Homo-oligomer: A and B are copies of this chain.
């Protein structure tokens, strides 16, 4: 069965074709913003994906879409997709189903990436949280092979758990939220760079070249991400926490910093040590678009 999975980001739209559970095709297009633009971007991506396989769009049995926003997966409605310039609730699923004449399911992009990461890392029937470290911080939670969305769709919103009463104000209205410490925005504040360059890449590179202040920033950041890992285990106790999102493209140096912090946090705590946290953290593979793969898996299940 051929399924299309589309991951709609603020700048690019990634599409993959899954045949059963294997990736057999992949395309990437720029995203057009706004409600009409997002619908067109997804439809164009499905068309381009089909063309790349020499197939008509009707060859897909289903389409799954992942978007950054509050998603009602039951009716395919999207709200608060600010990065896509979609401010009013958008009936994305029904609009796409009409346009493509295919069954379409819509999922939050971090949830979709969690499903995709569990599949790609081979823990699809097990327990995994994807800790998505982008501009903000959030998690997608898979338990027993199924997404945990929560009673009101707030499962995994760990970026807004306060962890320091003296911490900085958070745009969410609280103070000392984990997102103010463990996010791309926090790294940008600590290590500003010019233009479109990535603070995460820059500060980890500077640390590798011996810059002491960069090393301090990276170690502290590793500690804050480690706090997120610990938080996910002490609440949901997922077996694996995968680091994803833009900041995770730093790769092994980030993983090393997080593992070092987890070891340091466990020092003197037999309880934490027994949880074996450093061994339970992984990186999302960079060679597979887990968001699009997860969107396709969600589409296949619908």
Instruction: Decide: B269 and A174 in contact? CB cutoff 8 A.
Output: yes
Partner of A237, one of B150, B270, B275: B150
Give A19 to B227 CA distance when docked, in angstroms.
45
Decide if A155 touches B237 in the complex (CB within 8 Å): yes
Q: Which residues 144-178 of A have a CB within 8 angstroms of B?
A: 148-158, 160-166, 172-174
Chain B hits for A234, CB < 8 A: 154, 157-158, 160-161
User: With A164-B165, A234-B160 in contact, do A268 and B152 touch (Cβ < 8 Å)?
Assistant: no
A223-255, CB < 8 A from B: 227, 230-239
Complex: A161 Cα to B227 Cα, angstroms: 9
Residue of B nearest to A156 (CB): B235
State whether A173 touches B235 (Cβ < 8 A): no
A215 within 8 A of B: no
Beyond A156-B235, A166-B166, 13 extra complex contacts between A and B, CB < 8 Å: A127-B151, A148-B236, A156-B237, A157-B234, A158-B235, A161-B234, A163-B163, A164-B165, A172-B272, A173-B268, A173-B270, A174-B269, A235-B235
A265 within 8 A of B: yes
Q: Specify the main secondary structure of chain A where it touches its partner.
A: loop
Residues of B within 8 A of A239 (CB): 151-152
**A143 at interface by CB-CB < 8 Å:** yes
The complex places the Cα of A243 from the Cα of B269 at a distance, in Å, of: 28
Closest-by-CB residue of B relative to A169 is B268
For A235, give the chain B residue with the smallest CB separation: B235
Closest to A165 in B: B164
Find chain B residues with CB under 8 A from A235 CB: 141, 155-158, 161, 231-232, 235-236
**A–B Cβ pairs within 8 angstroms, 29 of them:** A127-B150, A141-B235, A143-B143, A150-B237, A150-B238, A151-B238, A153-B237, A154-B234, A154-B237, A155-B235, A155-B237, A157-B237, A158-B234, A158-B235, A160-B234, A160-B271, A161-B234, A161-B235, A162-B227, A163-B163, A163-B165, A164-B165, A166-B166, A172-B272, A173-B268, A173-B271, A232-B235, A235-B236, A236-B236
